[in-house]
Structure 1
Amino acid sequence: MKSLNAIVMSGKEVLPVIEGGKGIAVSSGQSSGAWAAAGGVATFSGVNADSYDENGERIPQIYYGRTRRERHDELVAYGISGGIAQAQIAHELAGGQGAIHMNVLWEMGGAERILHGVLEGAKGLINGITCGAGMPYRVAQIASDYKVHYYPIISSARAFRALWKRAYHKFSDWLGGVVYEDPWLAGGHNGLSNSEDPRSPEDPYPRVAALRKLMNEIGLQNTPIIMAGGVWHIEDWADWLDNPEIGPIAFQFGTRPLLTQESPISDAWKKKLGTLKKGDVFLNRFSPTGFWSSAVNNEFIEELRQRSERQVAFSNEPVGAHTAAFSMGARKREVFLTQEDRANAEKWVAAGFDQVMKTPDTTLIFVTKEKMQEIRKDQVDCMGCLSQCTFSNWAENETGNTGRKADPRSFCIQKTLQDVIHSEANVENNLMFAGHGAYRFATDPFYANGFIPTVKQLVDRIMTGK
């Protein structure tokens, strides 16, 4: 394999290996500081990051506000203090080596306020901002204002063209690189467009070559592309190195850093990663963001899948094939289903799924009383962790809502991601984001006999091409 040469990113000479920024404390100052110390580009998560008291104990993110707006302001305050704390930890552990980036989701609640707050409070500690999950037009100006580099996460040349024309051409001096994230293979939220088939993955090479062609046309020949999603062994990408069609290239690792000694995830989660088989990571659209996302296909995902399968279309009046009357709720309100759907509904009710919940799409789902109560409570407790949420109908606008009914087919993403990272609870019952290559933990000889490397050992291994 061709040698991997150092690359200049965010004003520093670094190894061309980037730690992917994983949300809600999964990429922490501890893990990212170790990655930077090893000479790479570290990325801590700026999404609801943990902060600590004077004794170094984590401050639980508890919300006291009576309204969603009040709780949203609390969430922003937590996000700012947590981001500053993680930047400080990463900076101290890095010891002047590597580069430190903060990852934010543009569609997270209070994204701009949190960016300003963290960059102001951690001046000189953060070298770059990576940002995806949406179209982050304004991140360029924010990064430029604080003199840090920015790295948009995109999944097509078309998306980058739109960002460039709308805003980035004005702040090109601070564009540190462009992250191409494979929407079929990356973990977490993915950038699949409505024109792309989630069941038909496309080869990333022509897509990245198209991105480089565009970048060359607008004068970005020397700006690196960071390949993300599906990256495990760099030797798998040998034909991308020193390739004029691809140009300056670096590689981002999101899934592999989960299984290191410095990784903050639970031992149960780490053990689960070692048991995955090919196909165990499931591309789905259950997320309240409305985006596609990839997660481990565990009991949490299975319950969401079954919830949507227990679903029928209804009409308030008999129309077309919807002529079968069905009574729902304590008041026995009558709606009309097809004959087949009424038979299914009666079967679900008899099996204990006797609570009926309406969706925004003129359908009904059938759940147990306990699940209905959980859904209702989570919707009421919403703290506005997203810019807009299909599950609770919160939106970060003047009205405070999306204008649509809350969708019981989704879930509170803040709640489950906080649970899965901060407790040793059964990982089967929480959302576990992972890339589609996670099954390779079980087959890669590097992890034989349950070996869990330090971050330094992992970076050294990656630099060999494996």
Structure 2
Amino acid sequence: NIIRQIYKSKTRQERHEELVAFGIAGGVTQVQKAHDIAGGKGAIHLNVLWEMGGAERVLHGILEATKGLVHGVTCGAGMPYRISEIAQKYNVYYYPIVSSVRAFRALWLRAFNKASALLGGVVYEDPWLAGGHNGLSNSENPLQPEAPYPRVLALRKQMREYGLDETPIVMAGGVWQLSEWEDWIDNPELGPIVFQFGTRPLLTKESPIPDNWKKRLTTIKTGDVALNKFSPTGFYSSAVRNDFLDTLYARSDRQIGYAVEANGSFTESFKTGPVGKPIFIQGEDASKAEGWKSAGFTTVLRTPESTLIFVTPEDAKKIKASQAACMGCLSQCQFSNWSQHGPNYTTGRMADPRSFCIQESLQNVAHEGDVEDFLLFAGHNAYRFGEDPFYKDGFVPTVTQLVERIMTGQ
């Protein structure tokens, strides 16, 4: 049973402490349960979002309480320099997630070279195809996907320079069936390769996601999974294009620039706020603003990038309530301007109303919330649930049945 986290403290620093304690307790329970189920037949790994609030504290807490039960830690969504140090302390393997050779090189030179013996593998996550948060950099175009083979080969060449010839690379993102990757298997150019299946295990009997989420997976069509940058982490992420995501797209579309003083093309006076304090917008945007207000989007919110967005009064209240209820689930959050670092526990930037509370949304969808109303992470191959004959007539396999199917190449 998934236990919903309910926060009782008044300040977000105190709620953050609740979150860390809950994360440790939940992680320990998960490890112990996995150990009992495995019965000594499989490796047990933790998968950690490095930009999660209190990530290092949670990792230490879980590993300290489960010594001998955890075999490895997979870690991405950020630059996890200190994961090797943590792995050394508890004598577990670590598996960094990277999306480019440049990222791995930086990690190796700064930290990983000091703990090479425990580097169990390097996860290459395709930033255009993987579900959840992706590692697209500013030098890469989100609209121009690059084939994974040359990028993984570049990673292998760099690893060989560091003496990591036999360290496996885990290919993650876009993997549906092994028959499509035959040229990668036993390929001396690539060296040892492992494949990660992240989306397919969601639709299994043992998967803890609610039934309405599982049913939604079978109706996803080609192109329904969108690569977007609404996450409060600041990273790109891939999720199902539902009403929730459409609302965020529409919110950002109702956006214009502004200046606090008239200058250049910002000459049109525009009043905002309860006292009607004037700011200045471009003349060409005046008709847009009036049109949005006439359509009911009468509340104007400022963003950190000197733009205005137009929302309904009801949405404005929800946005502000979510920001006020922040529990510090990230190391730093664009939506609420939370930072886990004191003394002020703030990023110093204006909170961004174009984003959303990711903890709130994921908690709700995990507890049988409407799959149209909350964030629904998925890889870009999720549409294949509806096309693969294995899932015909609504068949939901057990994990064992799925693994057996995968081992046939399908």
TM-score (norm 1): 0.87
Q: In the alignment, which of 294, 303, 308 is matched to residue 252 of structure 2? A: 308
Q: Which structure 2 residues correspond to residues 325-336 of structure 1 after superposition, within 5 A?
A: 325-336=269-280
1:68 counterpart = 2:12: yes
Q: Which structure 2 residues correspond to residues 396-411 of structure 1 after superposition, within 5 A?
A: 396-398=340-342, 399-411=344-356
1:384 counterpart = 2:313: no
Q: In the alignment, which of 358, 367, 383 is matched to residue 422 of structure 1? A: 367
Q: Which structure 2 residues correspond to residues 231-246 of structure 1 after superposition, within 5 A?
A: 231-246=175-190
Instruction: Say what the alpha-carbon RMSD is for the aligned residues.
Output: 0.9
Q: In the alignment, which of 54, 63, 83 is matched to residue 110 of structure 1? A: 54
Deviation at 1:59, TM superposition (A): 4.0
Question: Which moves more between the two structures, 337-346 or 144-153?
Answer: 337-346
Kept after mapping to 1: 8 A contact 2:2/2:208: no
The CA distance in 1 between the partners of 2:188 and 2:348, in whole Å, is 48
Q: Which structure 2 residues correspond to residues 6-405 of structure 1 after superposition, within 5 A?
A: 59-398=3-342, 399-405=344-350
SS at match of 2:183: helix
Deviation at 1:58, TM superposition (A): 5.0
SS at match of 1:428: coil
The CA distance in 2 between the partners of 1:216 and 1:192, in whole Å, is 24
Q: What residue number does 1:51 align with?
A: none
SS at match of 1:323: strand
The CA distance in 2 between the partners of 1:451 and 1:184, in whole Å, is 29
SS at match of 2:23: helix
Q: What residue number does 1:16 align with?
A: none
The CA distance in 2 between the partners of 1:60 and 1:282, in whole Å, is 27
Kept after mapping to 1: 8 A contact 2:4/2:363: no
The CA distance in 1 between the partners of 2:225 and 2:12, in whole Å, is 33
The CA distance in 2 between the partners of 1:270 and 1:114, in whole Å, is 29
Regions of 4+ moved over 2 Å:
57-60
SS at match of 1:364: strand
The CA distance in 2 between the partners of 1:211 and 1:236, in whole Å, is 21
Q: Which amino acid aligns with 1:124?
A: G
- List alignment gaps of at least 5 residues for structure 2: none
Deviation at 1:215, TM superposition (A): 1.1
- List alignment gaps of at least 5 residues for structure 1: 1-56
Alpha-carbon deviations, 1:131-159, whole Å to 9, x = none?
A: 00000000001011101100000011111
Question: Which moves more between the two structures, 430-439 or 262-271?
Answer: 262-271
Q: In the alignment, which of 388, 407, 413 is matched to residue 358 of structure 2? A: 413
The CA distance in 2 between the partners of 1:367 and 1:267, in whole Å, is 32
Alpha-carbon deviations, 1:207-266, whole Å to 9, x = none?
A: 111111111111111111100000001111100011111101110011000100111111
1:436 counterpart = 2:399: no
SS at match of 2:227: strand
Q: Which amino acid aligns with 2:378?
A: A
Residue identity (%): 64
SS at match of 1:207: helix
Q: Which amino acid aligns with 2:46?
A: M
The CA distance in 2 between the partners of 1:321 and 1:143, in whole Å, is 55
TM-score (norm 2): 0.98
The CA distance in 2 between the partners of 1:180 and 1:212, in whole Å, is 10
Q: What residue number does 1:7 align with?
A: none
The CA distance in 2 between the partners of 1:422 and 1:123, in whole Å, is 31
SS at match of 1:325: strand
The CA distance in 1 between the partners of 2:137 and 2:271, in whole Å, is 39
How many residues are paired up?
409
